[in-house]
A and B are shown apart, each in its own frame.
Chain A
């Protein structure tokens, strides 16, 4: 199975900050990497698909990049509604696997 490793596992940030989360795959996954935002009590929300494509309806302050094994999610100008847990997921090969999550907390 492909292992997905996110860093950091958690971070503290303030409204207006720029936040960067990284995700590393244990082998190349081309650009088959997606990012989700998850808040407790609701289903995850797709932010970025295929590494860098912004899902319809997602604010443009979210962006993604990377290919092969190393990927990045960036949140420019963090907003109050962005405090949540973020997961990367590879869909290159089955079983699909998620990173362990990055919790973004309010400093």
Chain B
């Protein structure tokens, strides 16, 4: 059974940093690209970032480019999102999701999702 479990959310001041993690199990982690998607309160889903199965390719939404860094530790089956220079508009539930394919160019859907972790940016 595929399970994705996010952690690391919490309350942080504007300008602060936070590191999210997503522990994966039930599949060969390095075979699949992984994404982060967020949902701000009362809003829809927003794609944030993606990393290929090997970790060699990444992409970001313009809204987080230069502030967020996605990474993965394949031996530990863990996905990370380092979030710096946080702003109020980054307040959201952050979901990690598994892509059906291994390459970010595969145009794949996300077939498994975690339950999400809440990040609140406020003073």
Note whether A and B form a binding pair.
Answer: yes
Given that A87-B45, A100-B44 are contacting pairs, would A50 and B109 also be in contact in the complex, using a CB cutoff of 8 Å?
A: yes
- Chain B residues closer than 8 Å to A89, beta-carbon distance: 45, 47, 109
Q: Spot the interface stretch: B24-32, B66-74, B84-92, B111-119.
A: B111-119
B110 within 8 A of A: yes
* B61 with A32: CB separation less than 8 A: no
Residues in B with CB closer than 8 Å to A97 are 47
Q: Are B113 and A45 neighbours in the complex by a CB distance under 8 Å?
A: yes
Residue of B nearest to A56 (CB): B111
Chain A, interface size category, equals 20 to 34
Report the minimal beta-carbon distance from B89 to chain A, rounded to whole angstroms. 16
Is B47's CB under 8 angstroms from A98's CB? yes
CA distance A45 to B68 in the complex (A): 25
Scoring A1, A46, A96, A98 by chain B CB atoms within 10 A of each residue's CB, the highest score goes to: A96
Q: Taking CB as reference atom, which chain A residue is nearest B39? A: A38
Q: Is the CB of A87 within 8 A of B44?
A: yes
Which residues does B use to contact A, with CB under 8 Å?
A: 4, 35, 37, 44-47, 50, 59-62, 95, 97, 100, 104, 107-116
Rounded to whole angstroms, the CA-CA distance of A6 and B99 in the bound complex is 23
**A16 CB–B CB distance under 8 Å:** no
In angstroms, Cα B73 to Cα A87, docked, is 30
Task: Please give, as numbers and ranges, the residues of chain A lying within 8 Å of B108 by CB-CB distance.
Answer: 49, 91
A100 to B42, CA, bound (A): 11
Q: Which of A1, A49, A50, A95 contacts B59 (CB 8 A)?
A: A95
| Given the contacts A49-B100, A98-B44, A55 and B111 also touching, CB distance less than 8 Å | yes
Of all chain A residues, the one with the shortest Cβ separation from B46 is A98
- Distance in angstroms from A24 CB to nearest chain B CB is 16
Given A99-B44, A101-B44, also A94-B59 (CB < 8 A) = yes
Q: A95-B59, A95-B61, A95-B62 are in contact. Are A46 and B109 (CB under 8 A)?
A: yes
**Using Cβ atoms and an 8 Å threshold, which residues of chain B touch A42?**
115-116
Residue of A nearest to B60 (CB): A95
Quote the shortest CB–CB distance from B49 to chain A (angstroms).
9
- Whether A44 sits at the interface, judged by CB under 8 Å, is yes
- Measured in the bound complex, the distance between the Cα atoms of B39 and A98 in whole Å is 11
Q: How far is the CA of A45 from the CA of B111 in the complex (A)?
A: 7
